[in-house]
């Protein structure tokens, strides 16, 4: 069996599991070629499903065969392989998946796609999920929230994510890092104070200075957090949902502070510790749920609190394309409830006059302005008024995803 047949079979197995409700995060580590097939298929999930529905003359049957067809159609549309090779290798992949009797069906559907490609396009574009490659409810919410920008947000969600680096000012500088990248044959340009955007993504092992902590991989939108946190040397700072550690590392690079980093997931605690160790930075890392204040707080209030809360991840869906199809509209209510609980808990540990930065990687107002407005209203009744402040960079709270950055939301609140 050739490499492509094996990769198509593996990709089909992974995509079928996602279609059944599993997360890509729970899958074994994948090769770059396999990542391209799985992530690319899931970015186009609505489209490839619609194509197979149009071409198939039988009711939806074997989930594994369906997933193989979705992956093969993505491979055909990617133009990375010849049409003949994809059809031939997809048929061979049936054997690897022990779907020997489906060889003729797979061959017929894929050859039908190649014959009808032009007419298919007009037919499937009548389906919003096929046209925009997002669930219908997702399209509806974005249309309502961003009447002028919703198409651009959807297009960004279907694109390949940018790879951005954060320069560690304690160990290097932008000019030296740019020179090192150029010497390694990697093209990049500066897009933020200490942010470098690579022309194309590469494995971190190829990044000069990465192992030595000179740079970290962090999206420009995520780097905005520390710029908005209003840090100063000597402060006591809490990173309440700290893994994998990108923002924690940025805090420690930016100011000499006492940092306490909380994380509820044991495996993610290990990743947090490893990331800080690579940067040779220190924080008090606690394996704790930030809402269980009595279990971890020593009673000494914090000057700054970063609440990078769990959310739908709708602003970074291109990095996690399974999210679009695993989420349900009703999930937003659950996220908002949890986000409110986190704010209420962390408000207790913030000193009077201190500032809390609320952060999500969501583009849905239900998790952003709605949560903050509700919290500010609750605080008025509780005695310690929450005062929402302008962000330090003067920008809008919501950054939408584009070619240079992901979608992030920030709100800075002072305990008045």
CB of 125 closer than 8 Å to CB of 46: no
Q: Measured between alpha carbons, how far is 205 from 182 in angstroms, rounded to an integer?
A: 15
Residues with active-site annotation? 361
Beta-bridge partner residues of 387: 414
**The tokens 């000012």 sit on which residue?**
169
| Cα dihedral across residues 246, 250, 253, 258: positive or negative | negative
Q: 18: number of CA atoms within 13 Å, CB side?
A: 30
CB of 223 closer than 8 Å to CB of 192: yes
In 3D space, the residue among 318, 365, 327 whose CA is nearest the CA of residue 144 turns out to be: 365
Helix (H) / strand (E) element for 410: namely strand 408-415
CB atoms within 10 A of CB 328: 11
233-253: buried (b, 16+ CB within 10 Å) or exposed (e) per residue? eebbbbbbbbbebbbbbbbbb
Q: Measured between alpha carbons, how far is 5 from 391 in angstroms, rounded to an integer?
A: 51
Beta-bridge partner residues of 201: none
In 3D space, the residue among 296, 275, 405 whose CA is nearest the CA of residue 349 turns out to be: 296
């Amino acid at each position: 069996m050739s490499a492509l047949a094996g990769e198509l079979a593996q990709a089909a197995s992974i995509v079928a599991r996602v279609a059944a409700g599993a997360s890509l995060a729970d899958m074994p580590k994948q090769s770059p070629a396999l990542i391209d097939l799985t992530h690319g298929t899931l970015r186009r999930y609505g489209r490839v499903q619609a194509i197979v529905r149009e071409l198939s003359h039988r009711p939806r049957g074997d989930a594994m065969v369906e997933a193989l067809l979705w992956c093969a159609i993505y491979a055909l549309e990617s133009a990375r392989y010849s049409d003949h090779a994809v059809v031939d290798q997809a048929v061979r992949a049936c054997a690897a998946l022990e779907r020997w009797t489906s060889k003729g069906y797979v061959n017929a559907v894929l050859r039908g796609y190649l014959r009808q490609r032009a007419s298919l396009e007009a037919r499937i574009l009548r389906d919003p999920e096929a046209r925009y490659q997002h669930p219908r409810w997702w399209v509806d919410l974005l249309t309502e929230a961003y009447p002028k920008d919703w198409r651009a947000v959807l297009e960004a969600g279907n694109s390949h994510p940018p790879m951005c680096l954060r320069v560690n000012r304690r160990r290097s500088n932008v000019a030296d890092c740019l020179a090192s990248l150029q010497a390694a044959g990697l093209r990049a340009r500066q897009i933020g104070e200490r942010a470098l955007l690579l022309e194309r993504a590469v494995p971190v092992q190829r990044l000069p200075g990465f192992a030595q902590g000179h740079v970290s991989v962090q999206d420009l939108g995520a780097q905005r957090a520390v710029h908005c946190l209003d840090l100063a040397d000597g402060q006591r700072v809490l990173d309440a949902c700290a893994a994998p550690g990108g923002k924690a590392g940025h805090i420690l690079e930016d100011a000499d502070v006492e940092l306490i980093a909380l994380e509820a997931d044991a495996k993610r605690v290990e990743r947090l510790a490893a990331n800080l160790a690579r940067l040779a930075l220190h924080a008090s890392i606690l394996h704790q749920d930030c809402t269980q204040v009595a279990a971890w707080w020593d009673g000494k209030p914090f000057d700054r609190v970063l609440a990078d809360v769990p959310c739908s991840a709708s602003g970074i869906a291109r990095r996690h394309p399974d999210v679009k199809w695993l989420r349900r509209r009703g999930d937003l209510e659950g996220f908002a409830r949890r986000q409110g609980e986190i704010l209420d808990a962390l408000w207790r540990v913030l000193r009077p006059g201190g500032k809390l930065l609320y952060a999500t990687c969501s583009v849905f107002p239900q998790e952003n302005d709605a949560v903050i407005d509700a919290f500010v209203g609750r605080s008025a009744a509780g005695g310690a008024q929450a005062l929402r402040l302008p962000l330090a960079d003067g920008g809008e709270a919501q950054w939408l995803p584009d070619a240079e950055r992901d979608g992030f939301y920030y709100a800075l609140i002072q305990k008045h």
